[in-house]
Structure 1
Amino acid sequence: MHRIAILLSTLCCAVTLMAQPALPPVFAQTDAARMRADAITRFYLAPVRVMQSHGATRPEVLTRITNGQTELGRNGMCLLSNAEGDTASITLDYGRELHGGLRLTLGSSSRPEPSLVRIRFGESVQECMSDTRNTKPCVGYSTDDHAKRDIVVEIPRDGQMEIGNTGFRFVRIDLLRTGVTVAIKEAAAIFRYRDLPYVGSFSCSDSRLDSIWLTGAYTVQLCMQEFLWDGIKRDRLVWIGDMHPEVATINAVFGYSDVVPSSLDFACSEFPLPRWLNNIPAYSLWYLIIQHDWWMHHADRALLERHRDYITQLVDQIDLTVDSVGRFRANVFLDWPSSADKAGVRIGVQALTVWSMDAAAKLCRILGDSAREDKCRAVARRISSHIATPKKLRQAAALMVIAGCMDAGDMAERYMHGIDGFSTFYGYYMLEALAMAGRYDDAFDAISRYWGGMLDLGATTFWEDYDPAWGSNANRIDEIGDPARKNVHGDFGAYCYPGFRGSLCHGWASGPTAWLSRHVLGFEVVQPGCRTLRIRPHLGHLDWAEGSYPTPYGAVKVRHERTAGGHIKTTILAKPRGVKVITDR
């Protein structure tokens, strides 16, 4: 995984050094009004292996990258040939989750007319070999929701063609016309991603945690397309609640990126008040928390001023929504796995409101609006004086601890036992609550077993949903496997993501990346714009940990080592001018 990070960083630097594109002089300045530059970098990648082939000659040549130029003939190319009543096919593995499509470079075929093929993209190998049902999502079937991934198309001879725009790792090509031979010189994945250096870093004496940190970072990088998406296969939308763990990861890995302000701008214009963001009241609460987190890391005054009216009017709307006994008088939602526990979800949204009102009060103080700052404090008090405790819902209990409505130690004893009931989204806040209770070893165990469990099943990015029970007697996502066993992707899932509709690259699952930087490396932002950082490492079972954290002035880098006496020795390896670092050691 570290070699991939180095490769991506090198590619990013190379692209940055290239000359900025200029339009040909046939375009007038007035044409700029109907143009938009592409913020996304693209590369071509050959597959790493052929998973399956039938009716194919020389399929192995497709694992080599070529010059990509069409040439006459078929010399040395992969041939797909259909006999009568047969269907030639080939399934390719590109090694890891990608966002983009497929670029075919084709040689001569056995007929002058284009040839009909079926191309299926899959985040798992089973998905790219599955059937599509778009009427109603269900277990065992794929869908084309939000991105077309099952495509029947004619391909030319002696030409090139680009197909698809989705999230995938695997591609299957089926030749649909009988008695036809097509020649494929190259079947390269089109890899589309943001050109960003990994300013933040993490390594420690537990290589599994290293892989988890990097996987979370890569998951979010893929979701940083033109806007900050929830997932690259679906929904490819700006969901504000999903953005909170994504933004925490961006702050820990990449530092400032304009994808965050532009996504906040977009969401507020798409859902103007009095509508709730994404039509989910809780997501408007997350918006206020994101705004404060972004301020603390970047002191982005322009963004804050641009959103002044939205923030202050949203505070007024929340004040009117919370009644005199602290009840949130609107629809409540946290995440899908918690949705059956209506009472627990209502308590969780109350706690989230308290957290968001604390963030909003600080924003109003920065904006010089003392009246609304007081209003935020009053809303929080109304809720805190009446809030109950959930019977068993971990999501709600974690939010109560973060909001200061429940003792962290009591919460850990009562609710946090093992990884049953974790979710890829709210698992981040469960980890935060465990840290507040000082239960770092329990948090390490949860990260290793829950997020590491996805890695054990072939994940190269983290998933929209996961239950550790899925891995029992199931095929990995990167193996065709035994048909008598369950497929971990297609045979599970619920709510809005059953079967292959489930996203295997979902930014809300990246929480451990931010958590490891915050609690193991110990980076805590104390002053807006990262002017002051406090470093309080918690190594748990680790012998050492080392890494860096982005600030607007450059990266701060530290190393922590456990001494023979059991103490932690902290060394500041790099500190840019303009940043004050406070350590307890």
Structure 2
Amino acid sequence: MRLSPWPVSPRAIKTFILLCVFASLRLTSAAQTWIWYPGDYEIWLANQMQNRRTERGTFFPVFWKVDSHYPLMDFHKIVELNQPETVRIYAEGKYNIKLDGKPFEGTPAMITVPAGKHKLNVKVFNQATPPAIYVEGKTIKSDSTWLVTFEDKEWIDESGKTSDVSTTKWLQAGQWNFNTPAQRPSLFKLPTQPVQAVTSQKNGNNLLVDFGKETFGFVKLKGVQGKGRLTVYFGESKEEALDPEHAETLDRIDIDQKTSKDTVLQLSKAFRYINIVPGGSVKVKGASMLYEYSDLPDKGGFKCSDEEINKIYEVAKYTLHLSTREFFIDGIKRDRWIWSGDAYQSYLMNYYLMNDNATVTRTMYALRGKDPVTSHINTIMDYTFYWFLGIYDYYLYSGDKSFIVQNYDRMKSLMDYVLGRRNKDGLLEGLPGDWIFIDWATGLSKKGEVSFEQLLFARSLETMALCSGLVNEKDAAAKYQSLAADIKKKLFDYYWNEQKQALVHSRINGKPTDNVTRYANMFAVFFDYFNGQQKAAVKNSVLLNKNVPKITTPYMRFYELEALCALGDQGIVLKEMKDYWGGMLRLGATSFWEEYDPSKKGAEHYAMYGRKYGKSLCHAWGASPIYLLGKYYLGIKPTAPGYVQYTVAPVLGGLQWMEGAVPTPAGNINMYCSTSEIRISAPVGTGKLVITSKTQPECKEGTIVSKGNNVYELTIEKNKEYKVLYKAI
């Protein structure tokens, strides 16, 4: 969430409602497709994906509560026809059909709907997979305008009359892109394409195969024959693949075949290297793979005068694509799960690269699950808050108000759970069953009331205030706004230390500690919770202070660098990107890692969690340069939902030139910026180009207004190209 400050007043909420009218109108029509109860398919699909995880051949399920789909579903649509219409019905499950409350005999695959106004109901039962329907007629077609419920609360009185009054809550149907009858949702699989190995090296009977870079998919063994057990050890590094006792993932297969055959392993895996170890009389001629991927094209892009930054950007793109599967997952080797903190960062990167709304909403549905709420998301308190932050960011970047309307009840029940876990001071601390994560950092205290958790709590309450306003829940908006203000006040009353000029890390037994960490301080910078004096102080007392414990994960380095960018220190951040992400590249990384500590040597880099190869060498949170370069160097960000309004404030930060594209719901905002020229065009909304120049900029296509202190502004109208001549400071 990146509004500074957040407009949480009732007046501002009304403004936001008006701004989303454009976005809401464009959602009124939808393509013909398979439909289901919103969130149900996503939860089911997440269960299928997350439970593919294995460690050394052992099934490894998730740590948290697993929800399921509703098995009985009622779909309905009110139609008005000028003439009779023949309609085909396809369903995943047993079903019946009613027209104006009267059921058709049997289970017809085709019905005729007479001319006039009618209500069509399709009720479907399916315990194994989510009930779904595909309706195909000339004008009657299944799409997201159909209404759906899992409890129709229908009843019949003693006279046989069916009820015409009900408290049933109907939602708009969920859908994705299954747009033909044959594309049944339950049959979905990610696409694959064949990829050949780069090298193969014999070592006795064993065969070490290198695919040249980090990858993901199904191994295909060529020319397998003989009798015995064959073992394949997977490695993100050569050391891991050649270490049978410690390799994190493996497959063992019993072979008994006289003729030479190709064999495709059944489970997809992450690897660069595979070590094929045949037993008995088994022989293998070689190996290739079927690369498995989510087919999402890049819409955004970035290129600049620094080739190392260009390389970092390309590897960040590859890292994000590898970690984008049916959902945004954490890493491809070990967990392969949907973690809310990891996913939140993937959403932000996605908005500047692929801008795929469907993967965002699928992931948020899967993370939220069903009521009742019995624990924090992923059991982690901070991850619950990242879910709330993700909701509002999605609305800001997409303009899709309908998703908030559909999920508002789930937002309320999750926030009710959080509010019910406050202590006597109205603050949050870890209770039995809570995991306070924050970051992977040696010696990081999680005891007491941690300032970072209170800060995320305040931001989540602000999200609830905004979303309550969007669904016209005025009393709820006022309540959440008041709660957010109270937590923000306590944040500074309890945690701000004048002597240290920083927020301290925690409060234990009602007393603040002296410990200063980076987390709450850097988030408070880009949340705009600090005043100008506090921001300047925190920059020196925390962000640039070598005595404050360093961050070693790309996860939190993301936010540390964002805070510096928000303070205008892109020059510092550029050097940090080259040192940190460039450091991984200099060690041979082909995707970015879960954690990087430059002080480690050799195979030490692969260890984590007390395991020799426990670290993921392809982790979604390692791809953050995509977001930083798009938002803080190109400087493009929405300031109203769906880019109805936006700002462009380019900062070269030491680069000689840069160019790129940032995707919006209406297409790309394209920009080129050098030390003397800016060119920009946009297909959406009204933009504000902010220019810092030693001299008065020139632009023939628009009027440049001086704002003082060498800052100038130019209004950007859609579908118009602008060229600005200026002199960079």
- Show the counterpart of 1:582: 688
- Show the counterpart of 1:151: 252
2:203 to 24, 36, 54: 54
Question: In structure 2, what is the Cα distance between the partners aligned to 1:408 and 1:325?
Answer: 27
**1:97 has 2:214 as partner:** yes
**1:516 has 2:629 as partner:** yes
**1:224 has 2:324 as partner:** yes
SS at match of 1:313: helix
- Show the counterpart of 1:370: 474
Question: In structure 2, what is the Cα distance between the partners aligned to 1:283 and 1:192?
Answer: 28
1:288 to 374, 388, 392: 388
**1:106 has 2:223 as partner:** yes
1:457 to 572, 578, 587: 587
- Show the counterpart of 1:416: 543
- Show the counterpart of 1:352: 456
**Contact 1:271–1:277 (Cα < 8 Å) also in 2:** no
- Closer, same or farther in 2 for the Cα pair 1:333/1:30, shift >3 Å? closer
Q: Please show how residues 76-95 of structure 1 align to structure 2 within 5 Å.
A: 88-95=205-212
Taking structure 1 as the reference length, the TM-score comes to 0.77
- Deviation track 1:413-439 (CA, whole Å, cap 9, x = no partner) reads 112236932321111111111112222
- Deviation track 1:159-209 (CA, whole Å, cap 9, x = no partner) reads 1211141111111112222xx47352x511221001111101011111221
Question: In structure 1, what is the Cα distance between the partners aligned to 2:252 and 2:274?
Answer: 11
Taking structure 2 as the reference length, the TM-score comes to 0.62
Letter in 2 for 1:581: G
Letter in 2 for 1:241: G
- Show the counterpart of 1:40: 190
- Closer, same or farther in 2 for the Cα pair 1:420/1:323, shift >3 Å? closer
SS at match of 1:96: strand
**Contact 1:289–1:356 (Cα < 8 Å) also in 2:** yes
Q: Unpaired segments of 5 or more residues in structure 2?
A: 1-32, 34-88, 94-125, 130-183, 496-502, 505-514, 692-729
**Contact 1:46–1:188 (Cα < 8 Å) also in 2:** yes
Q: CA deviation at 1:386?
A: 2.3
Question: In structure 2, what is the Cα distance between the partners aligned to 1:322 and 1:450?
Answer: 38
Q: Unpaired segments of 5 or more residues in structure 1?
A: 1-19, 21-27, 56-87, 133-140, 475-485, 564-568
**Once the two structures are aligned, what percentage of the paired residues are identical?**
24
Superposition RMSD in Å: 2.5
**Contact 1:408–1:436 (Cα < 8 Å) also in 2:** no
Question: In structure 2, what is the Cα distance between the partners aligned to 1:308 and 1:153?
Answer: 51
* Segment drifting more, 270-279 vs 382-391: 270-279
- Show the counterpart of 1:327: 427
**Contact 1:408–1:433 (Cα < 8 Å) also in 2:** no
**1:441 has 2:571 as partner:** yes
Q: CA deviation at 1:343?
A: 5.6
SS at match of 1:426: helix
More helix by share: 1
**Contact 2:566–2:632 (Cα < 8 Å) also in 1:** no
Q: CA deviation at 1:505?
A: 1.2
Letter in 2 for 1:404: D
Computing the radius of gyration from Cα coordinates, the structure with the larger value is: 2
Letter in 2 for 1:260: V
Q: Please show how residues 122-133 of structure 1 align to structure 2 within 5 Å.
A: 122-132=235-245
Question: In structure 2, what is the Cα distance between the partners aligned to 1:262 and 1:280?
Answer: 20
SS at match of 1:460: coil
- Closer, same or farther in 2 for the Cα pair 1:404/1:31, shift >3 Å? closer
- Closer, same or farther in 2 for the Cα pair 1:93/1:538, shift >3 Å? same
Q: Please show how residues 177-576 of structure 1 align to structure 2 within 5 Å.
A: 177=280, 180=281, 182-184=283-285, 186-269=286-369, 272-323=372-423, 325-330=425-430, 331=434, 332-337=436-441, 340-342=444-446, 346-387=450-491, 388=495, 389-390=503-504, 391-406=515-530, 407-417=534-544, 420-470=550-600, 472=601, 474=602, 486-489=603-606, 492-493=607-608, 496=609, 498-563=611-676, 569-572=677-680, 574-576=681-683
- Closer, same or farther in 2 for the Cα pair 1:409/1:554, shift >3 Å? same
- Closer, same or farther in 2 for the Cα pair 1:382/1:427, shift >3 Å? same
Q: CA deviation at 1:516?
A: 1.0
- Deviation track 1:315-366 (CA, whole Å, cap 9, x = no partner) reads 3333444456452144433122266223698111111222222233222221
Higher relative contact order (CA 8 A, sep 6+): 1
- Deviation track 1:132-157 (CA, whole Å, cap 9, x = no partner) reads 4xxxxxxxx3334xxxx343442743
- Closer, same or farther in 2 for the Cα pair 1:345/1:97, shift >3 Å? farther
Question: In structure 1, what is the Cα distance between the partners aligned to 2:248 and 2:361?
Answer: 31
- Closer, same or farther in 2 for the Cα pair 1:320/1:29, shift >3 Å? closer
Q: CA deviation at 1:274?
A: 4.3
* Segment drifting more, 263-272 vs 246-255: 263-272
Q: CA deviation at 1:579?
A: 3.3
**Contact 2:638–2:647 (Cα < 8 Å) also in 1:** yes
Letter in 1 for 2:260: D
Question: In structure 2, what is the Cα distance between the partners aligned to 1:344 and 1:515?
Answer: 33
- Show the counterpart of 1:161: 263
- Closer, same or farther in 2 for the Cα pair 1:183/1:328, shift >3 Å? closer
**Contact 1:115–1:182 (Cα < 8 Å) also in 2:** no
**Contact 1:338–1:395 (Cα < 8 Å) also in 2:** no
* Segment drifting more, 285-294 vs 29-38: 29-38
Letter in 1 for 2:525: V
Q: CA deviation at 1:519?
A: 0.5
SS at match of 1:504: coil
- Show the counterpart of 2:499: none
Q: Please show how residues 21-40 of structure 1 align to structure 2 within 5 Å.
A: 36-40=186-190
Letter in 1 for 2:517: L
**Contact 1:126–1:487 (Cα < 8 Å) also in 2:** no
- Closer, same or farther in 2 for the Cα pair 1:326/1:210, shift >3 Å? farther
SS at match of 1:287: helix
SS at match of 1:469: coil
SS at match of 2:263: strand
Letter in 2 for 1:453: G
Question: In structure 2, what is the Cα distance between the partners aligned to 1:166 and 1:311?
Answer: 35
**Contact 1:357–1:380 (Cα < 8 Å) also in 2:** yes
- Show the counterpart of 2:27: none
More strand by share: 2
Question: In structure 2, what is the Cα distance between the partners aligned to 1:195 and 1:320?
Answer: 42
Letter in 2 for 1:397: N
Q: How many residues align?
A: 483
